[in-house]
């Protein structure tokens, strides 16, 4: 059962989560593999394979692509780079594309101080208008507007309003891994699904949070990446994907948070044989029980055991895909004869890594 959470004392004092500690950092040798098995009759195949982005938090070295098919790097509508492959009348029915790279990642400590921000200027609001609007599965309707207004109330400070939305989400939504027999995630990252079922995975959580934040006038964008999960260091096991939002606060800039991972550390569930491994592998470095400090940490701060693949929703790829907008590029997007090809049916992705000393 969810319980209403009190806003942390630093919020009451007018300051979001802050820390004087030096940011942690880590370095990883990563292998990112896409395996494709084409169905009979495929005439044209186009592939966009996610790659590590240029990002102030991460430095990518020794990036290399091994592929039996010519490839090039392209940039989509939201400035994400991807490895692009185009096969006409393909002779190969099964093949792999492998990216390898060294990634050094720094912890993000935002120092989001509510005293240093205020409402957006009209000029900045116009510039960020796309990040205040709905996406295909990130809805903003009368119900969302009403709920956002109830949660935020008269609060105009974006940091304090964002924390209210964060606390409401913690109090009302459960990560599906807590009770995998009875809770599931949507396949697309859906505000509607998350609000209706009161559960979901990271992209469901953050779709709902983004809808509420945008409805409250807070520009928000989604980041898609993966954890380098400590427990899986050096193992032949896929790291899957993870996402987290960033909201914009005037005078501060982009502030990250991860209410989905924070929800694990609220501690409002019993560990058992059904959920124990899932819960542990939902975090970057494991789970040992409820931890209020981590709940507060993940508002404004992001750990270093991550890689960023892309930002944004409803992407227009380059070259432009034939089907509609791509919800997100968290792993890969594959089209066969102009139609999206399903993960697991046509393609699979595996991210493995080994942590190293820089």
- The string of pLDDT tens digits covering residues 203-258 is 999 999 999 999 999 999 999 999 999 999 999 999 999 999 999 999 999 999 99
- What is residue 111's three-state secondary structure? coil
Ranges 11-20, 28-37, 92-101: which has the least confidence: 11-20
pLDDT digits 0-9 by tens, 26-80: 999 999 999 999 999 999 999 999 999 999 999 999 999 999 999 999 999 999 9
- Domain segments of the chain: what residues? 9-17+108-309, 25-106+313-356
Query: What is the sign, positive or negative, of the torsion defined by CA atoms of 92, 42, 67, 234?
Result: negative
- Which pLDDT value is given to residue 358? 66
Distance CA 82, CA 72 (A): 8
Cβ atoms 18, 10 nearer than 8 A: yes
| pLDDT in the model for residue 6 | 36
pLDDT tens across 282-331, in order?
999 999 999 999 999 999 999 999 999 999 999 999 999 999 999 999 99
CA 323 to chain CA centroid, nearest Å: 23
CB-CB contact of 66 with 319 (8 Å) = no
The pLDDT value recorded for residue 110 is 87
Is 25-106+313-356 the same fold as 9-17+108-309? no
Q: Is 69 within 8 Å of 87 (Cβ atoms)?
A: yes
User: Contact 49/99 with Cβ under 8 angstroms?
Assistant: yes
Exposed/middle/buried for residue 343 (C-beta within 10 Å: 0-12, 13-18, 19+):
middle
The pTM assigned to this predicted structure is 0.93
What is the average pLDDT value for the chain, to the nearest integer? 93
**Residues facing 97 on adjacent strands:** 34
Instruction: Judge whether residue 15 has pLDDT over 60.
Output: no
Domain topology for 25-106+313-356: Immunoglobulin-like (2.60.40)
pLDDT tier, 8 (very low <50, low <70, confident <90, very high otherwise): very low
Q: How many CB atoms lie within 10 A of CB 206?
A: 29
318 phi and psi, to 5 degrees? Answer: -130, 125
User: Helix, strand or coil for residue 208?
Assistant: helix
For 100-132, what is each residue's pLDDT tens digit? 999 999 999 987 899 999 889 999 999 999 999
Q: Is the pLDDT of residue 3 over 60?
A: no
CB neighbours of 112 closer than 8 A, spacing ≥ 6?
A: 16, 17, 18, 159, 249, 252, 255, 299, 300
| Dihedral class, residue 292 (left if φ above 0, else alpha if ψ from -120 to 50, else beta) | alpha
First to last CA, the chain: 44
Query: Partners of 358 in the beta sheet?
Result: none
Q: List, in sequence order, the alpha helices (H) in the chain.
A: 9-12, 122-127, 142-152, 158-172, 191-197, 202-215, 259-265, 276-280, 292-297
In this prediction, residue 188 carries a pLDDT of 94
Q: Which two tokens stand for residue 284?
A: 């970057």
CATH for 9-17+108-309 is: 3.10.620.30
Instruction: List, for residues 184-206, the tens digit of each pLDDT value.
Output: 999 999 999 999 999 999 999 99
What gap in Å lies between CA 98 and CA 350, rounded to an integer? 9
For CA atoms 221, 29, 264, 174, the dihedral sign is positive
**Alpha carbon separation from 52 to 31, 104, 224, 336 (Å, rounded):** 11, 11, 10, 25
pLDDT given for residue 20 in this prediction: 53
Q: Helix or strand or coil: residue 84?
A: strand
Q: Are strands 44-50 and 332-336 parallel, antiparallel or unpaired?
A: antiparallel
Phi, psi of 353 (to 5 degrees): -155, 165
């Amino acid at each position: 059962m969810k319980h209403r959470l009190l806003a942390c004392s630093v919020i009451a004092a007018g300051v979001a989560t802050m820390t004087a500690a030096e940011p942690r950092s880590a370095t990883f040798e990563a292998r990112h593999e896409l395996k494709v098995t084409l169905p009979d009759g495929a005439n044209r195949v186009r592939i966009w394979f996610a790659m590590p982005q240029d990002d102030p938090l991460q430095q990518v070295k020794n990036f290399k692509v091994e592929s039996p098919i010519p490839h090039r790097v392209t940039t989509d509508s939201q400035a994400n780079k991807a490895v692009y492959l185009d096969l006409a009348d393909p002779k190969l029915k099964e093949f792999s594309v492998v990216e390898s790279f060294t990634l050094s990642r720094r912890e993000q400590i935002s120092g989001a101080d509510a005293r240093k921000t205020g409402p957006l200027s009209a000029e900045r609001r116009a510039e960020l208008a796309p990040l205040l609007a709905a996406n295909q599965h990130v809805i903003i309707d009368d119900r969302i507007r009403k709920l956002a207004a109830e949660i935020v109330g008269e609060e105009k400070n974006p940091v304090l309003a964002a924390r209210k939305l964060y606390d409401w989400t913690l109090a009302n939504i459960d990560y599906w891994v807590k009770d995998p027999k009875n809770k599931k995630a949507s396949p697309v990252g859906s505000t509607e699904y998350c609000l209706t079922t009161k559960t979901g995975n990271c992209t469901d959580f953050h779709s709902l949070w983004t809808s509420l934040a945008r409805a409250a006038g807070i520009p928000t964008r989604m980041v898609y990446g993966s954890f380098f999960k400590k427990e899986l260091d050096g193992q032949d096991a896929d790291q899957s994907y993870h996402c987290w939002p960033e909201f914009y606060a005037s005078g501060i800039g982009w502030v990250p948070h991860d209410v989905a991972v924070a929800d694990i550390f609220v501690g409002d569930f019993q560990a058992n044989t059904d959920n124990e491994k899932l819960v542990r592998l939902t975090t970057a470095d494991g789970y040992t029980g409820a931890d209020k400090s981590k709940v507060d940490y993940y508002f404004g701060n992001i750990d270093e055991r991550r890689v960023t693949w892309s930002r944004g929703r409803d992407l227009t790829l380059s070259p432009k895909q034939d089907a509609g907008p791509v919800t997100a590029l968290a792993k890969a997007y594959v089209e066969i004869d102009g139609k999206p090809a399903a993960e697991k049916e046509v393609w699979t992705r595996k991210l493995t890594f080994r942590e190293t000393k820089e």
